[in-house]
Structures are given as C-alpha cells and as structure tokens.
Amino acid sequence: MAAETETRAAADLRAERARCERLVALALEAARAGGADAAEASASVDRGLSATVRLGEVETVEFHRDQGIGVTVYVGRRKGSASTADLREASVRAAVEAALAIARHAGEDPCAGLAPPERLAREWPELDLHHPWGLDAEGAIALATACEDAARAVDRRIANSEGATVTTHEGTSVYGNTHGFLGGYEGSRHSVSCAVVAREGEAMERDWWWTVARDPAELEAPEAVGRRAGERAVRRLGGRKIATRECPVLYAAEVAGGLIGHFLGAIRGGRLYRRASFLLDRLGERVFPEWMAIREDPHIPKALGSAPFDAEGVATRPRELVAGGVLRGYVLDTYSACRLGMETTGNAGGVHNVLVAPSRSGGLEALLAEMGEGLLVTELMGHGVNYVTGDYSRGAAGFWVEGGRIAHPVHEITVAGNLAEMFRAIAAVGDDVDTRGRVRTGSILVGRMTVAGD
Amino acid sequence: MSERTREAMRIAAAAPAAARDPLALARERILAPGGLGEAELERALGTLLGHAVDGGDLYFQLSRSESWVLEDGRIREGTHHVEQGVGVRAIAGERTGFAYSDEIVLPALLEASRAARAIARGGGEGRVQAWRARRGHELYAPLDPLETLPVEEKVALLERVDAEARRQDPRVRQVIATLAGVHEVVLVAASDGTLAADVRPLVRLNVTVIVEHEGRREQGTAGGGGRFGYGWFLEEERALGFAREAVRQALVNLEAVEAPAGEMVVVLGPGWPGVLLHEAVGHGLEGDFNRKGTSAFSGRIGERVASPLCTVVDDGTLPGRRGSLAIDDEGTPTGRTVLIEDGILRGYMQDRLNARLMGARPTGNGRRESYAHQPMPRMTNTFMLAGPHDPEEIIRSVDRGLYAVNFGGGQVDITSGKFVFSASEAYLIEGGRVTRPVKGATLIGSGPEVLQRVTMVGNDLRLDDGVGTCGKDGQSVPVGVGQPTLRVDGLTVGGTQA
C-alpha cells in the first residue's frame, strides 16, 4: 500500500514537471513574441508536510505547497526579470510583460545575456536525488514524539522543550532558455530536529540537533537526534565567561562549515567584480596552509548540494577550489565571469557540494588533544563578517579545553580575527565530517584568535 | 518623526475617498476575482471548525513588489514579483493545523480547510459567529507605491544617488543603489466573526559604496524607507542624504584601527543602535516564548530587569513607520505596549493564540511573513523613551570606552538571554572625548542584565531610518527600532586588541 502511494506521488510529480516544462516553454515563446532577443525561465513546484510535537503534545501540523515561475528577458543587452507564484497561463504571460517593461528601462550591459551555448548541459548523470517518504501527518507526529521523548529522557535537568519537528518535502524544478535548453529534475529533502532546554537553578540553556537527507533511509534515527539534543543542552549548564585572551580556537564540525562558507562567499563572482572581497586578485596564490585541499563535487549521488546543471543550464563538474593551499578557482556565474574576463564555473545559484579534505584521523578527540589548551566553539551568533576587509568578530559559546580535555562550558564571549589570517593559521581539519550541508568538513583548528570575555 | 507624520497625513488626504476603505478594496481585489463572498468564507471556516477545534482563521494576501538595482552607474537589473494566496489555520488548545493555497477559489479553500483541521479528531461542523468588520488605525495611505513614480523617475532617482555618492570623494570605486517597493492587500476572516483588511505600502532605498585608498578597501551602507510612496525619497533630499551617509561611513572605516577586546563602558548612539533593545529584551518578551517558559524573562512580570532610567515600548501605531500596521495579521488593531516601565518588566507582546493561553489580551503583535506562514508574536517598532541626559555629557562622563553609532544585524538566544549585535561604525572614547575610529566588532551581553547596567539615558530619542528586517523561525517581517544615546557600564566588545 505504501509503495503504491509512493508510485502515485512520483507520477504526480512527473506530471508537475511536465506542467513546469510547458509553462517555461510558454514563457520563452511569449518573451520572443514580445520582442526579447533572448530569454530564460525556471519553474518549480514543491510540496511537503511538517509536524511539531512539544512536551508530548502535537503543537503544529503544516501542509506546504509552493510553486513559482521566474523569467528573465534580454532586449539587446538590457535585462529584465519577473516572477509569479501564480502558475495560470495568463499570470505567466503577465510576468513576461513585466520583465519586458523592465528591460526597456534597464541600462545597456555588455555582460547581460544567457550562458554560452557550448557550456549548457547536453546530458547529465543520474544523481538519485528523489526519494519520496510517503509520510502522513500521523506518521510524522509519531516520529517527532519519539524524538522529543528521547531528548527529555536524557537527564532530569531537561526542564522544558521547544519541541521536535519532522519535515518531508519533494519537488520538481525546470529550467529553459532560448538557446534551446530545457531540463528538469525531481528532488526530495527530509529532516528531523529537536531543541530542548536544560535548567539548573535560575540558569537555562537550550541546544538542538538535527538530521537531514534526501533519502529517509539515510536520516539518523529520531531517538538518536533527540538524545544528542538533550546531551548538548545539559552539557552547556554551568557556562561562564573567560578572561579576554589570545588562544587557539577549534571550530566543531557543525560550525566549521560556516567558516568555509565565508571563504566561498569571498570567492563569489558578485563580490569579486564589485571589488568587495578580501580575496580579490588572489587566484593562483596561497590562501590556506600548503596541505589544505577543497573540492567541489556536484555529482555525489543523493547529496543535498548535488545538481546536474546550474541555474543557467550550465553543466556542473567536479573541480578543485583549493589545492596545495593555493586558490584554484572562483565561484562564478555567466555574468560575473564576463565582468571578470573569465568563464562561468557552473555556479549560478550557488555552490554545490564542497568537500574539505581532512588532515587528521581520530575525530574531534584528536583535534582536542592537538589543541591542548584553547577554546572549542560549538555555537556562533550574529553576522560580524566584513567580506571587504575579512574582519571577523562573532558571538560564541562552547567549552574551555585544558590538557586536551573539556574543562567547562563557556558563554557570552566573542571570537575575532581577520579571515585571511585565520585561513592561513588553520592547523588541522578533522575527519569528523558533517554531511548535513552543502559544505562537508570536519572540525577545524585555527591556531590563534582573539577571544573577548571578562 | 514629525515630518513622516505629516507626509502620511498628506498622502492620506490626497487619496480618493473610494480607495480609503481597505475592506472594500480587499473584497474587490482578492475575493471577487475568484467568486468569493462572505458566504463562501463562512463555509470554509465551517469546514475548518470540526469537533474539538476552538477556532480558526483565513488570511488572504495579494502582493506585488519590484526592485531596481543600479550598479556601475547604470540600471543592471529590475525585478517584478506577484504573489497571492490564502493561509488557513485551525486551533485546538495549543495545537495548530495549517495549510495554504495559492489559488483563491472555493474548492482550494475547502481543501486547505480540511487539511488544516487534521489536528482535530472526529467530525462535525462548527458555527462561525456573525461577521464584525474591524477597522484598523489610519497610519498610511492605501496606495500602491509602485504606481507613485513613473519608471523613468525611479531610474533617474537611482542615477542621482549614484552621482551624489561619486561626487563626495574620488576614493569611491563602486556604488550599488537599490530601490524597492511592495504593495500588499490583506484580508483576515476568523471564526469569531473578525473581518478586517489592510492595504500596506512599503518602500525602501539602499546605498552601498566601496571606497579604495592605497590598496585598502572599505564599504559603507545607508538607506531608509517606510509605508509611503516613492515621493518620500525625493523630499528633503533624503535619497541624496543616504548616498552621502554611505560614503561618510566608508571613509571613516578607511581610517579605522583594530577594535579593543574585552568588557568596557559602551556608549550607544541614538536611532538604529536600538537594535540592542530588539535583541536584548524584545524577542525575550514575545508571548510564545513566555507561555512556554523558554525565555530568560519568563515569569518575571513586575520584577526589575532594567535601570529605573529605562522605559521600553513596542508601538505599531506610528504613522508611516516601516514596523507599523493598521491591523496585525490576525485582524487585531496594533497598539502601544509598555514592555519595561522605569526599569520594571510590565508586559509581553501577544498574538491571539498565546494571549488566550496566557489569559492575556492580544496586543496586535500577531504577524506573519506571508499567507504561507503561520502568525506568531512579533515586534513592530521597539524603542526606549528619552531620558534626562545631554548626549555630550554622556560622552564626557566616560574615561575609556567605545562609542558605537552604526550597526549591522544582531541575534539572541532567548533561553540563555545572550545576545549579540555587530557595530559597523565605532570610535574609542578616551578621556571623555571621541577619538579614533575602530573596525567593526560584535558586542555580546546578557539580555536580563544589560539594561540594568544603563547608567545614563540621553534626551535625544531617535527612531531608525526604516531599514530593519527581523527574522524568527525562518520568517522575515519589517520592523523598526529606536533609542536615545545610552551609556552601558559593561558590555563585552569583540575586537582583536586583547
């Protein structure tokens, strides 16, 4: 019965893809008819469900269904874009009209235009991105309940909960342009998350854990997610500030991806051509220690960041971003590449899976031992990153480490430095790789930063 | 603020009489095209109100938005976006069922209603109470800002902003100016008979400049907006003022030295630095967290949480403000809620669900990003009232400290109460004088403690220029903040100079 439901759901989604393809074709045709020299359009449909259970009771059940189409037209070298969440034919035509009206007022831009035809994907690998769960509200509630129960059972100091949430989503997206490209594919994304509050005296600490995957079979068990959330909340109790100092900082895997994210932000074409990046003109230069390697691999089966082609239809391909510590590639779409006098790297819409090669085995323990004395960061707060200068200053919480072991929790502190210097000061990357995001990295040890506290 | 008030009044007075009733306009624009009337709304709500469902509501929304981006002295891109739909919510005790549809026709509405009531077991049909049309405040004209300026003039406005920024200094290398507007019509129909609508204009202009000098680069950002037409930017050279301000900030940052690290006296400038209040106390005083007992402020009404100099309010009724609303997204007229009075915690911000569960009154703070999101208690315009001190006297009183006048965003962990906000323009105070500019740094503190350390409050209350966006549970809504100059005796400054 469940299998039959899944098959029907998959057929529904294929029908949605066919509808998206028709609408994209319609938009391109309308753009041509309206005087566009070139046009591109993308349409998507996503549907899903989420259920939250708090303190053992259902809190919310939400049914999601999102859709939309976006069209960009080029009149000569002038560009206009419009989008609508209403997929009726008349609305799509109205969006095309709006885009054309905008293009007529835009400035001539020699870089405005579609991706080069020779870079468009002609055939693409099967990436195994669509795994429907077939979960209904009752099923989601049962899993969320099991997850939260496990969290609350961890310790008598778990005094409260923000609940456990189970989500399931699947969708289809289609891209087409007037070079004749029309492609689409289905994908899914499911998650289980839990956040609980530990209390001791007047002090309360919250922490969470989550699992996310395209294939429900690859999710961590809900009970394991709950236990981890509970353990993380309890171990933060008794946190205190530490004195202001300089010391090594170890970014736990769950926050280390953010550090690599800042690197990726700084090599994004949009920042580079605006001269708004601290890594401007650094291609071919050493920006990390000699042993460091970072790759982009858009073709990992089932991975969250996998995609056969980018948001402009350009074929994606595995490549080196950093090898031997040297910056080997930027993150470019067609427009920013043109502005830089380069070629697109197939990153319209962002990076795909970015993999940081571990330099140490033995997980977080090994890096704690290597650090000896310093700060382990498990949570970061705020947005204190200046991409123009690389100046970095963020709120943090975590643990003080002595003799390679956790001594006590730490809160209400900041960690600061300059990203260019922090990247050069990376001492090790652990093999405790977190695969839940687009960046897959283990914990990262940064040799020296300023920690501000008392 | 007084200028803005006059502007809102002027536009309201100029609006044609027929367009001034938001409910009539919403019926015509949202319901009529899909053949919906009050009978159909009753039927959908009846479907929603099964056995064991306490209540429910329908939230219809129609929005049209645009943005124009100038870069390198030319319009690089423009976008236009249309969105419409209806969100359907069923509430039973603490449970909420929620579904939405982007089609505003009866079959879709009934389907969403049946899905939303999945939280309630059993059948039966509920009864909807007699419709009561609720009118909100008149805080802004029911206009479509996209239509308030011809496209040529929108383009010309951005070009003037670009020229003005470049004219300031030869070190300006890049200017990015964005003009954006939203026209939104909403209609709320609830099972208790609430029927209310609002027509919400919102405009914003942002300027970012990159300056470069002897190999060093920096940026500056300024902007503003509110619930007006685009004409607001043309008055009093506001748009050009943002251009000059962005360049000024960038040039200051070119001279900035390393920021200090550690706990010290911090003087916060007036206006936008009020993001302190939004993070340190605002979120922690939202009703949902307090009902659940997960806020560091839970159960502390009547207690001292700030120095007696501090009175903090949330006020959604200020004319034309970015965070203002005639009615909230549940149809409740917005209000002025005293959160902290002379240092004593007085009240929380409530939506209807949390107010009912806490036995409190809704305060008009039920907000949502769109029809596809559930409402929750959110801030509107949150600010501290003026105090007795001359701002100059406050600076003179500090021997060594930080004077922070501009900020990026912030964040708070409402459970531990720890919050951060990041300065983007700051100076050292040495011997009672503002001396060198320092690089941006994050400031971190504890919400329940920080306002107890306020020792001086300026007489210079200012609200921000209308650029704030608040995120909570993945939902973004426009907000305002404000404060007078404040002296805080002890905040941790996250610079690099240990």
* Beta-carbon-side half-sphere exposure of residue A82 (alpha carbons within 13 Å): 25
Report which of residues B51 and A319 the model is more confident about.
A319
Q: Which residue segment(s) compose the domain that A438 sits in?
A: 245-452
Residue A80 lies in a domain: yes
Confidence of residue B134 (pLDDT cuts 50, 70, 90): confident
Which residues contact residue A401 at a Cβ distance below 8 angstroms, ignoring those fewer than 6 apart? Answer: A250, A368, A371, A372, A373, A374, A375, A376, A407
In whole numbers, what is the pLDDT of chain B averaged over residues? 93
CATH of the domain at A20: 3.30.2290.10
Query: Last residue of a domain, which of A235, A261, A285?
Result: A235
- The residues with which A205 forms a beta bridge, in sequence order, are A198
C-beta neighbour count of B389 within 10 angstroms: 20
Same domain, residue pair A204 and A250: no
B79–A381 C-beta distance less than 8 A: no
B119–A58 C-beta distance less than 8 A: yes
Is residue A404 within 8 Å of residue B453, measured between CB atoms? no
Residue A5 has pLDDT above 60, yes or no: no
Residue A419 has pLDDT above 90, yes or no: yes
B497–A162 C-beta distance less than 8 A: no
Residue A95 lies in a domain: yes
Residue B18 has pLDDT above 70, yes or no: no
The interface residues of chain A toward chain B in range 213-272, judged by CB-CB distance below 8 A, are 236, 239, 241, 244-246
| Residues A399, A407: Cα–Cα separation, whole Å | 7
Is residue B472 within 8 Å of residue B446, measured between CB atoms? no
Is residue B88 within 8 Å of residue B111, measured between CB atoms? no
Residue A240 lies in a domain: no
Helix A2-33 vs helix A89-105: crossing angle, to nearest 10: 40
- Chain B hits for A107, CB-CB cut-off 8 Å, are 73-76
- Chain B hits for A160, CB-CB cut-off 8 Å, are 292-294
Confidence of residue B374 (pLDDT cuts 50, 70, 90): very high
Residue B6 has pLDDT above 60, yes or no: no
Nearest Cβ partner of B77 from A81, A382, A416?
A81
DSSP class of A71: E
Q: Answer whether A65 touches B (CB < 8 Å).
A: yes
Q: Answer whether B257 touches A (CB < 8 Å).
A: no
% pLDDT > 70, chain A: 98
Same domain, residue pair A273 and A226: no
In whole numbers, what is the pLDDT of chain A averaged over residues? 96
At residue A452, φ and ψ (nearest 5 deg) are: -105, 130
Nearest Cβ partner of A244 from B73, B262, B293?
B262
Same domain, residue pair A218 and A284: no
- How deeply is B152 buried, as exposed, middle or buried, from its count of CB atoms within 10 A (0-12, 13-18, 19+)? exposed
- Rounded to a whole number of angstroms, the distance from the CA of A128 to the nearest CA of chain B is 28
B98–A61 C-beta distance less than 8 A: yes
Same domain, residue pair A177 and A305: no
A417–B496 C-beta distance less than 8 A: yes
| Residues A69, A86: Cα–Cα separation, whole Å | 8
| Residues A396, A413: Cα–Cα separation, whole Å | 6
Same domain, residue pair A254 and A149: no
C-beta neighbour count of A88 within 10 angstroms: 12
Is residue A314 within 8 Å of residue A115, measured between CB atoms? yes
Task: Name the residue among A261, A253, A163 with its Cα closest to residue A441.
Answer: A253
- Return the sign of the alpha-carbon dihedral for residues B381, B385, B390, B393: negative
Nearest Cβ partner of B422 from A80, A244, A383?
A383
Nearest Cβ partner of B495 from A105, A106, A416?
A416
Confidence of residue B51 (pLDDT cuts 50, 70, 90): low
Nearest Cβ partner of B296 from A63, A204, A246?
A204
What is residue A8's predicted lDDT score, i.e. its pLDDT?
66
Nearest Cβ partner of B494 from A162, A393, A397?
A393
pLDDT, one tens digit per residue, over B299-354 is 999 999 999 999 999 999 999 999 999 999 999 999 999 999 999 999 999 999 99
Q: Answer whether A107 touches B (CB < 8 Å).
A: yes
DSSP class of A390: -
Residue A69 lies in a domain: yes
- Rounded to a whole number of angstroms, the distance from the CA of B117 to the nearest CA of chain A is 9
% pLDDT > 90, chain B: 86
Number of domains in chain A: 2
- Chain A hits for B422, CB-CB cut-off 8 Å, are 382-384, 393
Same domain, residue pair A196 and A270: no
pLDDT, one tens digit per residue, over B177-231 is 999 999 999 999 999 999 999 999 999 999 999 999 999 999 999 999 999 999 9
Three-state DSSP string of chain B:
CHHHHHHHHHHHHHCCHHHHCHHHHHHHHHHHHHCCCHHHHHHHHHHHCCCCCCEEEEEEEEEEEEEEEEECCEEEEEEEEEEEEEEEEEEECCEEEEEEECCCCHHHHHHHHHHHHHHCCCCCCCCCCCCEECCCCCCCCCCCHHHCCCHHHHHHHHHHHHHHHHHHCCCEEEEEEEEEEEEEEEEEEECCCEEEEEEEEEEEEEEEEEEEECCEEEEEEEEEEECCCCHHHHHHHHHHHHHHHHHHHHHHHHCCECCEEEEEEEEECCCHHHHHHHHHHHHHHEHHHHHHCCCCCCCCCCCECCCCCCCEEEECCCCCCCCCCCECCCCCECCEEEEEECCEECCCECCHHHHHHHCCCCCCCEECCCCCCCCEECCCEEEECCCCECHHHHHHCCCEEEEEEEEEEEEECCCCCEEEEEEEEEEEEECCEEEEEECCEEEEEEHHHHHHHEEEEECCCEECCCCEEEEECCEEEEEEEEECCEEEEEEEEECCEC
- How deeply is A203 buried, as exposed, middle or buried, from its count of CB atoms within 10 A (0-12, 13-18, 19+)? middle
pLDDT, one tens digit per residue, over B384-443 is 999 999 999 999 999 999 999 999 989 999 999 999 999 999 999 999 999 999 999 999
Same domain, residue pair A274 and A169: no
Residue B129 has pLDDT above 90, yes or no: no
B100–A454 C-beta distance less than 8 A: no
- Rounded to a whole number of angstroms, the distance from the CA of A125 to the nearest CA of chain B is 33
Q: Answer whether B473 touches A (CB < 8 Å).
A: no
- Rounded to a whole number of angstroms, the distance from the CA of A406 to the nearest CA of chain B is 21
> b vs e for A428-443, b when ≥16 Cβ sit within 10 Å of the residue's Cβ?
bbbbbbbbbbbbbbbb
Same domain, residue pair A50 and A178: yes
Confidence of residue B127 (pLDDT cuts 50, 70, 90): confident
A384–B494 C-beta distance less than 8 A: yes
Residue A180 has pLDDT above 50, yes or no: yes
Residue A228 lies in a domain: yes
- The residues with which A183 forms a beta bridge, in sequence order, are A175
Confidence of residue B124 (pLDDT cuts 50, 70, 90): low
- Rounded to a whole number of angstroms, the distance from the CA of A28 to the nearest CA of chain B is 17
- Chain A hits for B83, CB-CB cut-off 8 Å, are 84-86
Residue B123 has pLDDT above 70, yes or no: no
Is residue B446 within 8 Å of residue B420, measured between CB atoms? no
Residues A409, A413, A416, A422, Cα dihedral to 10°: 10
The interface residues of chain A toward chain B in range 355-394, judged by CB-CB distance below 8 A, are 381-384, 386, 388-389, 391, 393-394
Residue A309 has pLDDT above 60, yes or no: yes
Confidence of residue B19 (pLDDT cuts 50, 70, 90): low
Q: Answer whether A281 touches B (CB < 8 Å).
A: no
- B226, two tokens: 């509110």
Compute chain A's Rg from CA coordinates: 24
Query: Last residue of a domain, which of A235, A267, A296?
Result: A235
Same domain, residue pair A89 and A153: yes
Confidence of residue B17 (pLDDT cuts 50, 70, 90): very low
Is residue A23 within 8 Å of residue A49, measured between CB atoms? no
Residue A383 lies in a domain: yes
Q: Answer whether B67 touches A (CB < 8 Å).
A: no
What is residue B131's predicted lDDT score, i.e. its pLDDT?
87
- Chain A hits for B152, CB-CB cut-off 8 Å, are 105
What is residue A7's predicted lDDT score, i.e. its pLDDT?
63
Residue A347 lies in a domain: yes
Question: Which of B221, B257, B422, B491 should we substitute to test contact with A (largest number of A Cβ atoms within 10 Å)?
Answer: B422
Same domain, residue pair A261 and A210: no
B418–A412 C-beta distance less than 8 A: yes
Residue A28 lies in a domain: yes
Nearest Cβ partner of A106 from B77, B419, B498?
B77
What is residue B476's predicted lDDT score, i.e. its pLDDT?
97
Q: Answer whether A16 touches B (CB < 8 Å).
A: no
Query: Last residue of a domain, which of A235, A261, A280?
Result: A235
What is residue B290's predicted lDDT score, i.e. its pLDDT?
95
Nearest residue in chain B measured CA to CA from A453: B262
DSSP class of A358: P
Same domain, residue pair A407 and A427: yes
pLDDT, one tens digit per residue, over A181-215 is 999 999 999 999 999 999 999 899 999 999 999 99
What global pTM score does this model have?
Answer: 0.94
Task: Name the residue among A414, A421, A442, A383 with its Cα closest to residue A255.
Answer: A442
Question: Three-state SS for A20?
Answer: helix
Same domain, residue pair A194 and A254: no
Compute the average pLDDT of residues B84-89. 95
pLDDT, one tens digit per residue, over A238-275 is 999 999 999 999 999 999 999 999 999 999 999 999 99
Residue A121 has pLDDT above 80, yes or no: yes
B498–A386 C-beta distance less than 8 A: no
Residue B125 has pLDDT above 80, yes or no: no
The interface residues of chain B toward chain A in range 289-328, judged by CB-CB distance below 8 A, are 292-294, 296
A65–B101 C-beta distance less than 8 A: yes
Which residues contact residue B263 at a Cβ distance below 8 angstroms, ignoring those fewer than 6 apart? Answer: A244, A452, A453, A454, B490, B491, B492, B493
| Residues A182, A24: Cα–Cα separation, whole Å | 8
- Chain B hits for A165, CB-CB cut-off 8 Å, are none
Task: Name the residue among A249, A282, A379, A290 with its Cα closest to residue B496.
Answer: A249
Is residue A204 within 8 Å of residue B284, measured between CB atoms? no
B95–A450 C-beta distance less than 8 A: no
Residue B264 has pLDDT above 80, yes or no: yes
